[in-house]
Amino acid sequence: MTAVAAVETVPLFAPADVGIRAVSKAALYVVIASGLSLIFGLMGVLNFAHGSLTMIGAYLGGAVMVATVSAGTGGVARFVLFFLAAAAVFGLLTGVGAAVEVALIRPIYDREPLFQILLTFGLVLVLDEAARIVVELAGLQPQTEWQDAIGTAPAFLGARYDILGVDTRWGLYAFEALVGLTVVVAILLFLGETRYGLYIRAGSEDAEMAQALGIDIRRAFTVVFGVGAGLAGLAGVLLMWDPRFGASVPLSVETLLVAFIVVIVGGLGSFKGTVVAGVLVGVVDALMSWLFINVVDFPGLPELVLFTVLVTVLVVRPKGLLGVAEVGGH
């Protein structure tokens, strides 16, 4: 995660700064975890390749922005291009995800979960290595954030503003919070108001019963795996502008860990749980980053605290905060 990168110029006691960082991180974490939550909840598939798709989404979004934005491109045009890039990446990775489900995941549904874990872990190795090769061929450093892509953000997002006595990137963090909120509302509406959303909520509880009611659960699996992959890519596009993250190959593992923590803490099969856990983890991360960087000098401790939260939840409440099934018992 991003504890070290979060040092910047945070004052010794800065509740406003911690607050806005917490809000932006909460939004980002929910978006990062949402696709994994939908896939895990309905299908019981632990998609280790989720972070790789986020990383690829960040590079694809960055590629669109770098190719289309020039020094003379105005702020509004950059926002428009960003949303077009986000839509394109979402659509592309949704299609790729659906194809992966049909070609690779579907043939092993009847096998032990270990096969799915090994398969998706294999995908991580393939995708991350392929990304590293392509990024190097493009003349970029795979290990460091793609600064050219970060530089395509409108000046309003790139600049720091002094508000409430805190000098930070208020525009960027507010933008991330707004996009995150929009994504959450869209997913909640999809789950709550559409027939497919109903299938997903029911299938997350009891896929066999859903089948016996006439629902083609295999098709729902394909749709959800596709949408989950698309959401992973969308999260990548959102992270591409943020200097705390940025497009880089290590973003794959970084976001995968966040997604796992959020989904498990929130509870298997519950998107609302994912939202609650995303907010919780975002707030804890921002608070711990401030505490262990500005008050006590232990930059690695915020991550340790998050993993402690994860382990505590697994031991004390294996269902997670709002889960409908125990992790491992699906």
For residue 204, the minimal CB distance to other proteins (Å) is: 8
Per CB under 8 A, contacts with other proteins among 218-237 are 218
DSSP 8-state assignment for residue 159: S
Inter-axis angle of helices 251-266 and 271-290, nearest 10: 120
For residue 210, the minimal CB distance to other proteins (Å) is: 7
Q: Which of 129/216 has CB closer to other proteins?
A: 216
DSSP 8-state assignment for residue 292: I
The Cα-based distances of 269 to 14, 132, 137 in angstroms read: 36, 33, 40
Tokens of residue 150, six digits:
């970060």
DSSP 8-state assignment for residue 105: I
Q: Which of 271/290 has CB closer to other proteins?
A: 271
Q: How many residues bind other proteins (CB under 8 A)?
A: 19
Residue 214 binds other proteins, judged by CB under 8 A: yes
Q: Which of 7, 113, 216, 311 touches other proteins by CB under 8 A?
A: 216
Tokens of residue 294, six digits:
């500005």
Q: Which of 73/211 has CB closer to other proteins?
A: 211
Q: Which of 9/194 has CB closer to other proteins?
A: 194
Region near other proteins per CB under 8 A, out of 21-29, 160-168, 214-222, 290-298: 214-222
Per CB under 8 A, contacts with other proteins among 191-210 are 195, 198-199, 201-202, 205-206, 208-210
Per CB under 8 A, contacts with other proteins among 298-327 are 324
How far is it, in rounded angstroms, from Cα 221 to Cα 209? 15
Among candidates 85, 19, 83, 25, which has minimal Cα distance to 255? 25
Query: Please, are residues 278 and 266 in contact by the beta-carbon 8 Å criterion?
Result: yes
How far is it, in rounded angstroms, from Cα 51 to Cα 252? 4
Sort 313 into a burial class: Cβ within 10 Å, 0-12 / 13-18 / 19+. buried
For residue 97, the minimal CB distance to other proteins (Å) is: 22
Per CB under 8 A, contacts with other proteins among 167-196 are 195
Site residues for other proteins per CB under 8 A? 195, 198-199, 201-202, 205-206, 208-218, 324
